[in-house]
Structure formats: structure tokens, C-alpha cells
Amino acid sequence: MQIGKEVTWHKLVVDYFKELLKPKSIYEIINKELREAYLRKLEAESGVEYAKSIVTYNEQRIARLQKRLIEHPIEGDCL
């Protein structure tokens, strides 16, 4: 390190808190919200994909069970 340029732990902490407390620009606020909106959209799309797969699974299951029901005559109370 160069003489006089030594970064102390104290300075790093102070700089970190200064950055946290510094007012954000409109650009920074909009950019942060836009990023959050993209993330929420991706999460929602994943949820839609999952829900669609559950619907498809159950549609196929219903069709299979209805077909089996037609193939097998009623055999009394076998439940």
C-alpha cells in the first residue's frame, strides 16, 4: 500500500453508512424498482408454468380414469 492511502476498518464502515444514508437519485430509484418488477414477473411466470403443468396432469388423469371407469363394469361395493 502507498503511504497515506491506507484504508482502515473504521473508514470502510463510515463510508458504508454514508452510502446507505445518501439520498438516492430518481434514476437509482427507478432502476431498483424496474429490477424488482422483472424479478416478480419471472417468479409469476414460473408460478404460471407450474400451475399449467398441474392442470395438464389432472386433465390427463381425469381422462385416464374416465376411460377406466367405462372399461370396467360396476362390481358391487368394492370400495
pLDDT tens column, 9-55: 999 999 999 999 999 999 999 999 999 999 999 999 999 999 999 99
Inside any domain, residue 8: no
Inside any domain, residue 63: yes
Inside any domain, residue 61: yes
**What's the pLDDT score for residue 49?**
98
Inside any domain, residue 13: no
Determine which helix (DSSP H) or strand (DSSP E) holds 2, and give its type and residue range. Answer: none
Inside any domain, residue 14: no
CA-to-CA separations, 71 to 49, 55, 60, 66, 78, in angstroms, rounded? 33, 24, 17, 9, 16
Work out the pLDDT band at 7, boundaries 50, 70, 90: confident
Q: Is the pLDDT reported for residue 77 higher than 90?
A: no
Give me the number of domains the chain comprises. Answer: 1
Q: By residue range, what is the domain housing residue 52?
A: 24-71
